[in-house]
Amino acid sequence: MKTQIIKINDFSNLSKNSDIKKAGDILRNGGIVAFPTETVYGLGGNALLDDAAHKIYSAKGRPSDNPLIVHIAKPNEAENYAVTNDCYYKLAKAFMPGPLTIILPKKSTIPMSVTGGLDTVAIRCPSHPVAHALLEVAGIPIAAPSANISGKPSPTTASDVVEDMNGKIDCIIDGGDCEIGLESTIIKLDGEKATLLRPGAVTPDALSFICESVEISPAVTQMLKENEKVISPGMKYKHYAPDTPLILLNGTKDNILDFMHKKSAETNCVLLLFSEFIPQFKNSKYIDIGSINSLPEQAAKLFHALRLADKIKAEIIYVPIPKQEGLGLALYNRLLRAAAHTIINV
Ligand code: TXA
Ligand code: MG
């Protein structure tokens, strides 16, 4: 299949842009379009069509029991697809459009293929101008997982998407790099009570201003036991993983730096380094993961860094373990999965 690549250079008047209209037509007619969001690139299909969901699963190589997020242009469109409540609207007022996905009981308008057979549906209203224009122009809800091959890090640049999806889908919209770089926060709502299934840029603290309680699912920070039942099917799959084994380093800053110096002198490894430490590792193989003082910068860089680290063809990748606070919880969660929970105390 030939994949059409559309580059967006002018972000004004996007809903009048003829290329976005073309992409909207493809979606309405059951085709698959990758598009940028503020979190990561999505692999979109018409959420009302069974067939589009099958095409998405097949392009990703994803098990079809792992449900897709339904993207909408405006929070109140959720009425058509889900059973909402007051808390949904309070959260929508605070965080939508933006990087929050809310799981609610589903209505029959959404096919079971989209929700992987579950009777709930994940709803998200993205803030990226291209995603928003595409939703408006297409006039349908868009089912979209991250636009990576299943098990790979989510794509945060158009070139990451081309790497994984060229020749497999109808169209890729290149809208530049994703600002946040980690996937949306996912919560399941039970009345006013939220369960955090995937941490993201909307933090538990921020949610707790609105929800009666915010419980963090154990799967966010812990390894699942064999055959353990999970609320979110995505939690049970190995995720975000580079091909090269990745190891998290836990310890003081000085101990981590000593360990990295030793390993890079003795072995064929890649270091994921905070920008501040790069000058002392000039002769090592490394990838810059942003300033030690900026969690948003680290989040924006992480997935692309994992892809770059893989291309270096080393035997091992080392990375300092993030603190589990604020946006750090999301970084910690993604790295834990990328490392398949392998941590060395140094
Ligand atoms: O930021 C994001 O959320 C991106 C952009 C494209 O919107 N999307 C994304 O989708 O990360 P995906 O499919 O890669 O991750 C969605 C996760 C999966 O782990 C899936 O299992 C879970 O959400 N999920 C979706 N629907 C669910 C449901 N009804 N109940 C429980 N978990 C659900
Ligand atoms: Mg994904």
Q: Quick one: pLDDT at residue 205?
A: 97
Per-residue pLDDT, averaged over 189-194, amounts to: 96
Q: Quick one: pLDDT at residue 226?
A: 55
333 Cβ closer than 6 Å to some ligand 1 atom: no
The domains located in the chain, with CATH, are 4-220 (3.90.870.10), 246-345 (3.40.50.11030)
Q: Quick one: pLDDT at residue 239?
A: 64
Rounded CA-CA distance 126/92 in Å is 11
**Range name among 197-211, 221-235, 257-271, 331-345 with the lowest pLDDT average:** 221-235
Among candidates 232, 183, 219, which has minimal Cα distance to 66? Answer: 232
Quote the tokens at residue 104: 């609610």
Point out the ligand 1 atom lying closest to the alpha carbon of residue 42.
Answer: 6
Q: Quick one: pLDDT at residue 234?
A: 61
Q: Quick one: pLDDT at residue 275?
A: 97
Point out the ligand 1 atom lying closest to the alpha carbon of residue 99.
Answer: 1
Question: Which pLDDT band holds residue 243 (cuts at 50, 70, 90)?
Answer: confident
- Predicted model pTM: 0.95
42 Cβ closer than 6 Å to some ligand 1 atom: yes
Above pLDDT 90, what percent of the chain? 89
pLDDT for 61-102, tens place per residue? Answer: 988 889 999 999 999 999 999 999 999 999 999 999 999 999
45 Cβ closer than 6 Å to some ligand 1 atom: no
195 Cβ closer than 6 Å to some ligand 1 atom: no
Per-residue pLDDT, averaged over 249-277, amounts to: 97
Per-residue pLDDT, averaged over 124-153, amounts to: 97
pLDDT for 11-65, tens place per residue? Answer: 999 999 999 999 999 999 999 999 999 999 999 999 999 999 999 999 999 888 8
Mean pLDDT, the chain, whole residue set: 94
- The answer on pLDDT for 299 being more than 80 is yes
Per-residue pLDDT, averaged over 110-131, amounts to: 97
pLDDT for 144-168, tens place per residue? Answer: 999 999 989 999 999 999 999 999 9
- The answer on pLDDT for 241 being more than 90 is no
**Ligand whose nearest atom lies closest to the CA of 72:** 1
Count CB-CB contacts under 10 A for residue 18.
8
Rounded CA-CA distance 90/130 in Å is 25
Among candidates 172, 164, 157, 201, which has minimal Cα distance to 304? Answer: 157
Best probe residue, ligand 1, of 132, 232, 239 (max atoms within 8 Å of C-beta): 232
Per-residue pLDDT, averaged over 306-319, amounts to: 94
Ligand 1: centre distance to CA 106 (Å):
15
User: Which residue's CA is the nearest one to ligand 1's atom 3?
Assistant: 184
Rounded CA-CA distance 209/226 in Å is 35
- The answer on pLDDT for 210 being more than 80 is yes
Per-residue pLDDT, averaged over 281-286, amounts to: 95
